[in-house]
Structure 1
């Protein structure tokens, strides 16, 4: 019996899809935000390097702290605990992204580009 994840079949199928070129992006565009926050490697995506390049924040913890939703020391995993509407509002208000989902999609794109560059 497999776990169905938004049409991706079981967990093994999701892992295989993520390993394929462009697979993480397909997942990021296909799954709802709640599932993305559970399934994506947030600590590898929402790195200080990504945050500094695409947002006015040094880290995801700093974004959460500004919103009053956490502290600057919080890891990327903390965003899964924040109410989605508050998270989206903070992202929309303080970044060039319209939602947390869009920010994650860009983070996946950035991560994959870094992987293909061998960094």
Structure 2
């Protein structure tokens, strides 16, 4: 018996979709932020390399510190503990993204391009 995840099908189907090229992007675009934060590998997405290239921050910890909800040494997993409104406000104020979900969507695209060797 599977789990229905917002029209995405069962859990097994979602896991298989995530393994396909573009599957993570589809998940990031179709799920609400709270589910994205729980299902995607944030530590592989919100890397220092991504943060330095696409935000004014050196790391996700630095963004959390600026938002007043963490320290510069926090890992990407700390994002799961922060109220979404605070994340969205900080992302909107400090980056070119309109929300945390948009930032994560870009991080997924960046991750996929690195996986495909598109450095």
| TM-score, length of structure 2 as denominator length | 0.96
Q: Does 1:24 align with 2:16?
A: no
Match of 1:87 in 2: 87
What residue is the counterpart of 1:55 in the other structure? 55
Quote the offset at 1:102 in angstroms: 0.2
Q: For residues 52 and 21 of structure 1, what CA distance do their matches in structure 2 show?
A: 24
Equivalence for 1:34 = 34
CA distance in 1, matches of 2:58, 2:23: 28
Question: Aligned equivalents of 2:5 and 2:74: distance in 1?
Answer: 28
Which residue in the other structure is 1:97 paired with? 97
- The runs of at least 4 consecutive aligned structure 1 residues that moved more than 2 Å come to none
Query: Does the alignment pair 1:8 with 2:11?
Result: no
SS of equivalent residue, structure 1 residue 8:
coil
**What runs of 5+ residues in structure 1 fail to find an aligned partner?**
none
- CA shift digits 1:2-35 (9 cap, x unpaired): 1111222222111100011111000000000000
